[in-house]
Structure 1
Amino acid sequence: MRATSRRVASVALLAALTATACGPNGTGGTPGAPSKAPTPIVTASGGRATTGPAAPTASAAPRTTTPDRCLAARQWGTGTRSGGPDAPIQDPLYNVRAGRHDDQCFDQLTFDINGYGPVGYVVRYVPVVRADASDKPVPVNGGAALQVTIRAPDYSTSEHHPWREPWRVGQVLFESNQWQSLRQVKFAGTFEAHTTFAVGIRTKVPFQVSTWQDGGTLHVILKTAHPS
């Protein structure tokens, strides 16, 4: 009877020690202290606060692309350009001017005619420009050559600028190794009211031709795109 009583007392004592070690929640913490639950993340959903996983970080705003200022010039193409009437005019071509337009990615040649349009022209890439009418080659600097024929005589056939010496076949009218596309311009002759020029280009690039009337002066404008 005494042995049974001692066995019951030992079991009771062991149960009491186990409860003290584990705490009231069985977590092994300090007696009487509640266990620490994880803090919920609160997000707004439809005007209500709800708990859930952390909201994803906002994606970066899309980058704005800068317009390509050279795009228009690069789309001109390299094929033959022709326009205006087939019959030549009698108003004299008396001047050739070169200009740079770096902001728009092209170089420019302007052919000035003392008179009124319309005027015809043909501009095309050739292996070598040949003089009109001797057919002699007129080589130019650069990796490509444009032959520019304008259906108008040069000033030597008229009384316009009578103090000037006539252009000679092969005479250099412009030259530069610093420009993006234009390299050299030479006179290639005039025959039967057609005047031809050899234009040296750094490499074969797109080009555009247009005409413009400014009072009593008619302009044929050649634009050569800068290499990409």
Structure 2
Amino acid sequence: MTKTSAPISQEATDTTGTARADAGLTPLGDADTTMKTLRPEPSSQLVVTGVRLGTHEGFDRVVFDLTGDGAPGWFIDYNDRPVQQGSGFPIEFPGDSALEVNIDGTTYPFTLGIDPPQIGTTVGPGPIVAGVTSSGSFEGRTQFVIGVNGGKHPYSVQTLDNPSRLVIDILRR
């Protein structure tokens, strides 16, 4: 996983923050269907403040906006039956496959003196991503499930800076 500082252009999004299909973006990184993991920086204290989705020629993009200090880690993999961390309750998600996203190096919003973001479930924009469901934070990890249509698709994971974001590109097969 390569870290890059290329921002997502404001011209590539509409007024809701959803990427336009005609923005001409290309996928970041190398995509496949295998598990992806990276440890966070030891002193990271980040909060996921929002989720943005976009559809582009050949792929859908999910962007997790972050605030705080440090760089995130992650544990991301397809999971047939995702469950909520801490409780073990099943997580309902749109679509027919679940790409479970665990963002590491996170903290509770009150630690940073900010109000808790109200993320919930974000409806997907394109043929691949049906939606993203937030499952909350627990012990330094914030959990989401990306509901994917059409089975398991190759995906890549990248971080971007200024502002800090975790970007997942999911390719059409």
TM range (shorter): 0.7 to 0.9
| Among 50, 58, 68, the residue aligned to 1:115 | 68
1:135 aligns with 2:82: no
1:135 and 1:89 map into 2 onto residues whose CA distance is: 26
CA shift, 1:76, in A, is 1.7
Structure label with greater radius of gyration: 1
1:205 and 1:198 map into 2 onto residues whose CA distance is: 14
Aligned amino acid, residue 207 of structure 1: Y
Deviations 1:92-142 (Å, cap 9, x if unpaired)?
22111111122xx11111111113432211110001221121111102121
Gaps of 5+ in 2: 1-26
* SS of alignment partner, residue 45 of structure 2: coil
TM-score by length of 2: 0.73
Q: Which has the higher contact order (CA 8 A, sep 6+)?
A: 2
1:212 and 1:165 map into 2 onto residues whose CA distance is: 20
* SS of alignment partner, residue 115 of structure 1: strand
Q: Is the contact between residue 91 and residue 116 of structure 1 (CA under 8 Å) also seen in structure 2?
A: yes
CA shift, 1:208, in A, is 0.4
1:83 and 1:123 map into 2 onto residues whose CA distance is: 9
Q: Is the contact between residue 94 and residue 154 of structure 1 (CA under 8 Å) also seen in structure 2?
A: no
Deviations 1:182-227 (Å, cap 9, x if unpaired)?
001111121112100011000210000011111xx3111011112x
Aligned amino acid, residue 185 of structure 1: V
Gaps of 5+ in 1: 1-71
Written as runs of structure 1 = structure 2, the 5 A alignment for 1:48-67 is: none
2:92 and 2:66 map into 1 onto residues whose CA distance is: 25
Task: Decide which structure has greater strand share.
Answer: 2
Written as runs of structure 1 = structure 2, the 5 A alignment for 1:187-198 is: 187-198=134-145
> What's the % identity of the aligned pairs?
24
TM-score by length of 1: 0.57
Task: Decide which structure has greater helix share.
Answer: 1
- Pairwise CA RMSD of aligned residues? 2.6
Q: Aligned residues, how many?
A: 146
